[in-house]
Amino acid sequence: MKRSVLYILVLVLFSGCSLFKKLTEEPEFVVEKQALEQAINKTVDELLSSEWLSDFMSENNERPIIMTSLITNNSNGIIDVNTIYETIDMRLVKSGQVRVVKTEEAQRVLTPYELAQGESVDYVISSVIENNPNQDSSVIFKISLWSDKTREPITKIENIVE
């Protein structure tokens, strides 16, 4: 009886180690910070040149308040998500076209639609990084703009990180 218990414990131990190894495998590639920042800046610039901004400003006669939230890395690349928050927020602030509200850690768990329901913001930005299906070791940066008026993003823009 003691031997069978010992065998079971050893089997569980070794199967647990193999599961742990699979969970801790390193990603396939590293996404260069400068390339990621360039793609983010290009995407934010395209977002700011979209029709939603001029529509908002003509209707409200003021700059919209924007919050960045929900950045998801669905790629196999190593990416510093905090760098993405900082890069998006800095690009928005430097544009002078919008007002930016800093996202708190607790707010990052809410969906963009839920955040847009708050009275302190007009729009919420969410971002996704995905593998580029056409090129190994490359990712696509996608950005979506949400408002409280719809459960779907009002605009989506994407660029390849090269």
Each residue's pLDDT tens digit, 7-56: 454 444 454 544 444 444 555 777 888 989 999 999 999 999 999 999 99
> What are the φ/ψ torsions at residue 150 (nearest 5 degrees)?
-150, 150
The per-residue pLDDT for 138 is 87
CATH class of 29-161: alpha beta
The per-residue pLDDT for 13 is 47
Which candidate, 52, 80, 77, places its Cα nearest to that of 66? Answer: 52
Least confident range of 61-65, 67-71, 122-126: 67-71
| Structural domain spans, the chain | 29-161
Question: Would you say 102 and 88 are in contact if contact means Cβ atoms under 8 Å apart?
Answer: no
pTM of the model: 0.77
Which is more confident, 111 or 19? Answer: 111
Across the chain, what does the average pLDDT equal?
82
The two three-digit tokens of residue 85, written as one number: 């928050």
Least confident range of 31-45, 62-76, 105-119: 105-119
Q: Name the band, by pLDDT with cuts 50, 70 and 90, for residue 106.
A: low
Question: Would you say 48 and 146 are in contact if contact means Cβ atoms under 8 Å apart?
Answer: no
> What are the φ/ψ torsions at residue 158 (nearest 5 degrees)?
-140, 150
Least confident range of 12-21, 53-62, 76-85: 12-21
Average pLDDT over residues 76-95: 90
The two three-digit tokens of residue 49, written as one number: 């040149």
The per-residue pLDDT for 38 is 94
